[in-house]
Structure 1
């Protein structure tokens, strides 16, 4: 079987472009121009349009939404090569440079520490909170990872128990730990792996001295008690709907992530 040497060169070209874009601080134009300059002329002739190549470089499309008068509107689209604090900080710096008066007061985020840290540092005056939809989504991902999805779908009592775990988000923050302890006793052993996951990430595990370690996400961050009582936004479902529309319109095949801001 004869291999097409040009196809092999182009495949290698794609690999080099993507690797270089993700692992260097070079601009997209620099990566493409330098990689193309090293291609043989026969391979250059068969290159597809550059707009077909560029999406392969980006790891995610990060969208920031504003909420004027309870209407969710996408206001920033960021094509990001990486999913880390340095990349998110560059995004925020570019936005602030363009709109220096931008001063969000309330920010609803997904459960990603790098994003949380950057927004917290950049906007210390803002109140950061987690999206309830993504809290539930994280529990369901854990169900799937542990092979419990079918059990959840077929066993109504088991599903109800999982819903109770997620419902801890609606209890007053000061009462969440005790409610979790009582719920753990009530639910029993078949929920233990999910309870362990929730305790580690959202409650804090017991230490040998009887105190609790800091959870990955503070209770105040994911709790929606006050937001529910004050009729404030507790989920970014509207943003998720926009994400689906954007994905369809632009035929995006990269992860869509976002933050929801309110003045």
Structure 2
């Protein structure tokens, strides 16, 4: 799940899309033009999907949903899909920590001092530890730090090591760790649109054309008339 903002009409806040795996490749499945980015908006979307799935006699109970760390999105997912694992995007997690590195004035030190760079990279790598070992790993890295580097560790503990958030960014034994492939699709769609803030009709025509191509190719892959490689080249 992810949103893009560049191509939507000015009175909308985002084009929120949900992708799903077909033949091992992530493809667009749901498009939502949203005027808000709050829990109510996401709840409306999820309830509409649950209602439609019931009509189609489909059990809409995904094992895992990958998303960024948007404040409203995660509780909405957990509220409507309580049995689903919510996995935060590791790339967005790293971006957020690196933004804090810059805010604390550590950017130059990160570039020029090997020890600082290694320590911050190892801090990010604690995401690959089993959850019960993360606190020990962070404590070992934190030992002996001072000044702004110590402030980074304090931020990390307060922002990312709460009971609620730790499981979101931990990627131990997780095969798909980011939603970068979805963002890549958004970037490709933005290039096709060729301009910012398309009109509603222009955007709808773009999405209809995109889904038409994907539907045809998916059917060809499932029927054996095309390969998964063909699907990857298009998406």
TM-score > 0.5 by shorter chain:
yes
Match of 1:218 in 2: 165
Residue equivalent to 1:82 = 36
Structure 1: state its 5+ residue gaps.
Answer: 1-53, 205-213, 255-263
Give matches, 1:99-248, under 5 Å: 99-100=53-54, 101=58, 102-204=60-162, 214=163, 217-227=164-174, 232-248=175-191
Q: State which of 11, 25, 28 in structure 2 corresponds to 1:71.
A: 25
In 1: Cα distance, 2:108 partner to 2:14 partner:
30
In the TM superposition, residue 224 of structure 1 has moved relative to its aligned partner by 0.7
Report the CA distance between 1:131 and its aligned residue: 1.2
CA RMSD of aligned residues (A): 2.2
What CA distance in whole angstroms lies between the structure 2 residues aligned with 1:252 and 1:96?
Answer: 34
TM-score by length of 2: 0.72
- 1:168 & 1:78 partners in 2: Cα distance? 35
Distance 1:108 1:127 in 2: 9
1:12-42 deviation per Cα after TM superposition (whole angstroms, max 9, x unaligned) = xxxxxxxxxxxxxxxxxxxxxxxxxxxxxxx
Q: Do the aligned partners of 1:152 and 1:159 also contact (CA within 8 Å) in 2?
A: yes
Asked if 1:98 is matched to 2:52, the reply is yes
Provide the rounded CA distance (Å) in 2 between the counterparts of 1:253 and 1:119.
29
Query: Number of aligned pairs?
Result: 187
Distance 1:161 1:192 in 2: 11
**Structure 1 residues 158, 84: closer, same or farther in 2, change over 3 A?**
same
1:186 deviates by: 4.5
Quote how far apart the aligned CAs of 1:180 are.
Answer: 1.1
1:151 deviates by 3.2
Q: TM-score under structure 1 normalisation?
A: 0.65
Q: Aligned residue for 1:23?
A: none
Change in Cα spacing, 1:162 to 1:88, as seen in structure 2 (3 Å) is: same
Match of 2:218 in 1: none
